[in-house]
Amino acid sequence: MTCAARPDDDPAGPRGRFADDLIGLDPADPEVQAFAAHLDRMERTRPAYTVEGSLAGVRDFAEGAQRAHGPRRITAVVLVGLVLLGVVITVWEALLFLLSVLL
């Protein structure tokens, strides 16, 4: 007989990439699922020098801001507000410059 483990040997055990990290934990527990999602985010690699990589970084920030509570959420909202204010001021100044050159 071989000692190879079959998938149906332990039907209640954790599966997937982080099975070793989740041994002894209930895979149906929401906290365990959140921990597995956290591990997935930590080990995910993507090139940051592409447009897709940059947008994925913005998506990660937005998802993290949605999960945050209290002072961290307020900090994220203020940061986004400051970035948007900078964009609005830059566009306004560019429009004023274009109008002054064209007129």
pLDDT tens for each residue of 29-43:
888 888 887 787 777
Per-residue pLDDT for 18 more than 70? Answer: no
Domain regions of the chain by residue span:
45-102
The percent of residues in the chain predicted with pLDDT above 90, rounded, is: 30
Tokens read off for 47: 């090139």
pLDDT at residue 74 in the model:
93
Burial class (CB in 10 A: 0-12, 13-18, 19+), 22: buried
pLDDT at residue 79 in the model:
93
